Structure 1
Amino acid sequence: MPEPGAPQRVARLVSILVHPVVAMLAAAAVATDGAASPALRWQALASVAAAATAVMLYSGLKTRSGRWAHVDASQRHERAQLNRFASWLLFVLAAGLAMAGVHAGIVATIALSGAIVLAGHLLRCWLKSSLHVAFAAFAACIAWPHVPATGVLLAATVAVAWSRLALRRHLPAEVLSGALLGVAAGAALHAIMRG
């Protein structure tokens, strides 16, 4: 197998740097910046970290047991299993946070994250929506109206969209679908918080 060229190496690096976990941690930090209660920021960051840790453990166990070829769940059946697990995990986490009295914005963000993953899973018969792009776009929406952070996250969304195409992980329609899922979740979050 030939060595990857410079564009592929850059694309891999971008995919790692703008991984959904990284994007959502950045969005949580921006959204809670200057919050009246410092505990709010820790609740937001801990919620994202808890969900990410559970998904990584699930992926690791599947790979270690030999059921998956790789932790990135790149095969169709692996991706379907991961998306089902992650979506329900996020919904259950959101319900638990709501019962614990955690801030409504955190609960809504976790629930909408589950909705993004579930929507990607439900669309799988037609296309493989890019969840990397979806979560980068969602993170940019969460950061709004903090203009500098939103701009950085929008640039990151464009960069990760390019990386997914350069790595041949997605087709243009799948990248666009991911972006639309993220923007829809972001619009829903702002509507919920205004209501």
Structure 2
Amino acid sequence: MLSASNPTLVSLKRLMELVYSNDCKLAVILAGHPKLSNDLKRPSMEQIGARSQIFYLNHWVENKLHYGSWLFEQCCNKDVTQGDIITAEAMELLINSLVTPLQISHYLSRSLEQGYTVGVKPITPDIIQSVLVTDLNSPAAELSRHGYNIQALCEILNARPAEIRTYLQGHLNPNRAQDFAKEIHKLGII
């Protein structure tokens, strides 16, 4: 589920209560960004959050290198090794620079395209570095990866979209920026 609004969650709670009152069982599984977990912890969502069990699926982070190898196994002929296409150092740089499987496959594709364009084989760390976005680990990118877009930040920080954009660009009044940073830190993301 990409986004679960308060009315949707309240309706799900009512549905579960109706099912339980008829001696039946129902399990509702919501999968989402860490934002969903934080939303369920808010006082306004206490009635739903108290009935929720939150599980974090972060085990994949320890297996990123395995994921990269798996990608090559799925895409290459048996007689082609990963080392024929990308150096171990380049693969390590790629994996350690990125967070999500989508990012890894996207930047791997961009690296392969760039390597083909400039005639470099196997892909080197220089090729990887040339395709990686410089602000990949900026606060804006981190917040976005965790489900906090401009609209969500406006709600949390009680601010206008222009003010949020100014903050994310690093041009907001220092006092107001510090207030924003404190509130964002409370989310447990940055």
Name the TM-score, length of structure 2 as normaliser: 0.29
Report 1 or 2 for greater relative contact order, CA contacts < 8 Å, sequence distance ≥ 6: 1
Greater C-alpha radius of gyration: 2
